[in-house]
């Protein structure tokens, strides 16, 4: 098991314990353990398998949790979790995914109504029975109903990073099969969607058929759904992601890539254009209608060229104007990972990060970056040991000294991720913020505000003269928490007016902003940064997901500030431009 899966089970167990009203100290130990495991650089499963290692050497892991971790790695659960799941209805874990309730609210509902499914919870809200309970009301009922609808929409979805990991693992496995030349992911993974519903892998080579048997025999396959002459489908891993593996001859590779990459709407538009030209397009190739003669299919570029279009980048294939832009020669030159010269949002051991400033700087240097900004949390996040004014000013002084003395392999910018408080004020005083090179303003609390209130809150934050970047602007956590409501257009317009840049947060759990939001903001004149929100050196690798969001938003290097060389970026900071 990977650390994130282990941490998720610890979080779930802690929530179930809170529903059961168990000891708060014990609950906190599970949550602290989950945090420690999630950010730990080594695989916990590997440490447990090594007799020479002690899992209790990880800060926050005591003897009791060590036993729990052993159980989780061995059988994907633990005794405490099993007992709690027997005590509560089967749907208890689903209830935890509904925003607005929380463990205490769920306990109250279970006590009064003895329900066990999301459908029953929905019916309670529709019958206005939730509002009669203490600390609940009509607004909460409305929120729960919205959250239930959103939960159903995202059920069966997987993070882009998770699907990518499965694709890489299976591609390596299948590529080792004799007769296989290439294994290529398609579908929404290739288009860079934030979440994917399933995974398509295309296998080509002189004799690719044996790869199907190798796939279905893979130990991580939990259920084989179908197995035929040219295709096999199965659920893979603890999460049950459906993977479809297709074999195809090299002469059909390009057509198959185009077809299985999608999107559905893009493909319909492309096929409609082909028909108008007397052609038909399928996963096997592009053919003339009059005599069924094949005219293209070996390469994607050849397929597009045969219907009078330049090749269209997968991230743009959503039928949102890309075909018209291609016909008119207006396709953008999209940003690439190699264009990014620095990462502007990361945390260290000063707050809730897992590495020192020196370690983060060295990791950035190894990735080829010219500069980074260290942006630890501000004091409002007390659990993260956030910086107060004195610590922030001292940090700025330290960074200036390091740069002057050349003590780091990259140029450092002193920064902070400053909380935007409930009333829109910044968490630290303006004179302290003025000492820093870069201020990111982010919302981390009070996310249940009405849209008008949240809009006013963000607009007031944008008035702060030291603010340079609006961090993870919608506040969403993918598959867990939806974006908070606010007037997006109005906030973007004000950010543009005040010279505040919008962050594309590349953390795979956020990917905030997403592609459509980026494109909408660009149309209003917004400029952007792409940053990882890294809490450990390994998180710097997530930059590629932020770049995918930028590409889906039609951005080129000129739209993104951290594609600038260090000196020009420093000048942009000074000019707030």
Hey, is 232 helix, strand or coil? strand
Query: What CATH number is attached to the domain comprising 430?
Result: 3.20.20.140
Strands 371-377 and 285-288: unpaired
pLDDT of residue 319: 97
Domain extent, residue 395, equals 337-575
Indicate left, alpha or beta for 292 from its phi (over 0: left) and psi (-120 to 50: alpha). Answer: left
Convert the pLDDT of each residue in 231-245 to its tens digit.
Answer: 999 999 877 899 999
Q: Specify whether the CB–CB gap between 148 and 118 falls below 8 A.
A: yes
Same domain, 536 and 570: yes
Residue 227 CA to residue 233 CA, distance in Å, equals: 6
Q: What is the SS3 string spanning 321-390?
A: CHHHHHHCCCCCCCCCHHHCCEECCECCCCCCCCCCHHHHHHHHHHCCCCEEEEEEEECCCHHHCCECHH
Query: What CATH number is attached to the domain comprising 14?
Result: 1.10.150.110
Identify the domain boundary among 199, 226, 248: 248
E strands within 92-197?
A: 158-159, 182-185, 195-196
Convert the pLDDT of each residue in 58-89 to its tens digit.
Answer: 888 999 999 999 999 999 899 999 999 888 88
Sheet holding 221-227, edge to edge: 182-185, 198-204, 241-248, 231-236, 221-227
Same domain, 351 and 491: yes
Domain assignment present for 455: yes
Domain assignment present for 406: yes
The helix (H) or strand (E) run that includes residue 530 is strand 528-531
Residue whose C-alpha is closest to residue 519's, from 549, 544, 541, 543: 549
Convert the pLDDT of each residue in 320-374 to its tens digit.
Answer: 999 999 999 999 999 999 999 999 999 999 998 889 999 999 999 999 999 999 9
When the pLDDT of each residue in the chain is averaged and rounded to a whole number, the result is 94
Domain assignment present for 332: no
Same domain, 369 and 489: yes
Residue linked to tokens 């009509």: 138
Angle, nearest 10°, between helix axes 3-19 and 63-75?
Answer: 110
The runs of H, that is alpha helices, within 409-481 are 430-433, 451-462
- Copy the structure tokens of residue 184: 């290529």
Same domain, 241 and 285: no
DSSP string, 541-573: GGHHHHHHHHHHTT--GGGBGGGS-HHHHHHHH
Convert the pLDDT of each residue in 272-330 to its tens digit.
Answer: 999 999 999 999 999 999 999 999 999 999 999 999 999 999 999 999 999 999 999 99
Residue 236 CA to residue 242 CA, distance in Å, equals: 6
Residue 168 CA to residue 185 CA, distance in Å, equals: 9
Alpha-carbon torsion, ordered 534, 379, 498, 525, to 10 deg: 20
Residue 560 CA to residue 529 CA, distance in Å, equals: 5
Q: Which residue has the higher pLDDT, 23 or 453?
A: 453
As for how many domains the chain has, the answer is 4
Average pLDDT over residues 244-271: 96
Identify the domain boundary among 154, 173, 207: 154
The helix (H) or strand (E) run that includes residue 279 is strand 279-282
Q: Helix-strand-coil percent breakdown of the chain, rounded to 5?
A: 45, 15, 35
**pLDDT category of residue 41 using cuts at 50, 70 and 90:** confident
Q: Specify whether the CB–CB gap between 424 and 457 falls below 8 A.
A: yes
Neighbours of 143 (CB within 10 A): 17
97 exposure class (CB count in 10 Å sphere: 0-12, 13-18, 19+): middle
Same domain, 301 and 345: no
Domain assignment present for 362: yes
Partners of 182 in beta bridges: 204
Separation in Å, CA 549 to CA 80, 150, 542: 40, 21, 12
Domain assignment present for 52: yes
Separation in Å, CA 575 to CA 72, 107, 171: 53, 53, 47
Same domain, 315 and 389: no
Domain assignment present for 113: yes
The runs of H, that is alpha helices, within 353-388 are 357-366
Distance of CA 256 to the CA centre of its chain: 28
Same domain, 358 and 275: no
Same domain, 179 and 144: no
Average pLDDT over residues 416-430: 97
Domain assignment present for 568: yes
Partners of 285 in beta bridges: 282
Same domain, 110 and 181: no
pLDDT of residue 238: 76
DSSP string, 239-259: TTEEEEEEEE-GGGHHHHHHH
- Copy the structure tokens of residue 38: 């999630």
- 158 CB contacts (<8 Å, ≥6 apart)? 195, 196, 197, 239, 241, 479
Residue 297 CA to residue 283 CA, distance in Å, equals: 8
pLDDT at 271 > cutoff 90: yes
Percent of the chain scoring above 90 in pLDDT = 80
Q: Specify whether the CB–CB gap between 377 and 419 falls below 8 A.
A: yes
Domain assignment present for 97: yes
Residue linked to tokens 């949390």: 377
The helix (H) or strand (E) run that includes residue 472 is none
Same domain, 149 and 162: no
Average pLDDT over residues 94-103: 84
Same domain, 258 and 180: no
Same domain, 48 and 69: yes
Separation in Å, CA 554 to CA 188, 334, 398, 524: 17, 6, 38, 13
Sign of the CA dihedral running 500, 501, 507, 512: positive
Average pLDDT over residues 192-212: 96
Q: In residues, how long is the chain?
A: 577
Query: What CATH number is attached to the domain comprising 230?
Result: 3.30.460.10
pLDDT of residue 577: 52
Residue 187 CA to residue 258 CA, distance in Å, equals: 9
Residue 150 CA to residue 99 CA, distance in Å, equals: 10
pLDDT of residue 576: 67
Identify the domain boundary among 154, 178, 195: 154
């Amino acid at each position: 098991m990977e650390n994130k899966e282990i941490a998720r089970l610890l979080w779930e167990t802690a929530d179930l314990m809170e529903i059961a009203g168990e000891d708060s100290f014990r609950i906190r130990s599970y949550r602290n353990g989950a945090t420690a495991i999630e950010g730990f650089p080594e695989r916990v499963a590997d440490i447990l398998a090594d007799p020479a290692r002690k899992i209790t050497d990880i800060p926050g892991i005591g003897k009791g949790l060590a036993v729990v971790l052993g159980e989780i790695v061995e059988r994907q659960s633990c005794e405490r979790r099993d007992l709690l799941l027997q005590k509560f209805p089967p749907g208890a874990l689903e209830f935890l995914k509904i925003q607005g309730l929380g463990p205490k609210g769920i306990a109250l509902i279970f006590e009064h109504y003895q329900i066990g499914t999301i459908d029953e919870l929905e019916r309670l809200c529709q019958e206005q029975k939730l509002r009669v309970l203490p600390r609940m009301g009509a607004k909460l009922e409305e929120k729960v109903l919205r959250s239930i609808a959103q939960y159903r929409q995202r059920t069966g979805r997987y993070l882009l990073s998770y699907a990518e990991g499965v694709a890489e693992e299976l591609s390596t496995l299948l590529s080792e099969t004799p007769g296989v030349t290439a294994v290529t992911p398609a579908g929404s993974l290739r288009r860079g969607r934030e979440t994917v519903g399933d995974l398509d892998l295309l296998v080509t080579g002189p004799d690719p058929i044996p790869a199907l048997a190798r796939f279905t025999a893979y130990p991580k396959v939990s259920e084989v759904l179908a197995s035929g002459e040219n295709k096999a489908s199965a659920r893979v891993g603890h999460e049950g992601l459906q993977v479809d593996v297709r074999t195809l001859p090299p002469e059909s590779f390009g057509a198959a890539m185009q077809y299985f990459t999608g999107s559905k709407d893009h493909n319909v538009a492309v096929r409609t254009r082909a028909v108008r030209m007397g052609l038909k397009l399928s996963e096997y190739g592009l053919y003339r209608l009059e005599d069924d003669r094949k005219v293209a299919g070996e390469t994607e570029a050849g397929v597009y060229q045969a219907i009078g279009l330049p090749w269209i980048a997968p991230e743009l294939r959503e039928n949102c104007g890309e075909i018209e832009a291609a016909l008119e020669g207006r396709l953008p030159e999209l940003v690439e990972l190699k264009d990014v010269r620095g990462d502007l949002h990361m945390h260290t051991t000063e707050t809730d990060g897992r590495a020192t400033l020196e370690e983060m700087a060295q990791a950035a240097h190894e990735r080829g970056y010219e500069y980074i900004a260290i942006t630890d949390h501000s004091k409002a996040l007390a659990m993260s040991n956030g910086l107060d004014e004195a610590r922030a000013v001292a940090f700025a002084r330290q960074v200036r000294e390091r740069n002057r003395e050349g003590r780091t392999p990259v140029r450092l910018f002193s920064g902070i991720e400053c909380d935007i408080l409930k009333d829109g004020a910044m968490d630290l005083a303006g004179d302290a913020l003025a000492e820093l090179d870069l201020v990111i303003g982010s919302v981390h609390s009070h996310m249940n505000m009405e849209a008008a209130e949240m809009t006013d809150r963000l607009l007031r934050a944008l008035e702060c003269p030291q603010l340079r970047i609006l961090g993870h602007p919608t506040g969403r956590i993918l598959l867990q928490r939806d974006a908070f409501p606010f007037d997006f257009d109005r906030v973007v317009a004000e950010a543009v007016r005040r010279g505040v840049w919008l962050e594309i947060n590349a953390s795979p759990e956020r990917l905030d902003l997403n592609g459509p939001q980026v494109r909408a903001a660009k149309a209003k004149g917004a400029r952007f940064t792409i940053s990882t929100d890294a809490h450990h050196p390994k998180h710097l690798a997530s930059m590629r997901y932020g770049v995918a969001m930028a590409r889906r938003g039609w951005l080129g290097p000129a739209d993104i500030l951290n594609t600038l060389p260090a000196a020009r970026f420093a000048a942009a900071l000074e000019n707030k431009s």
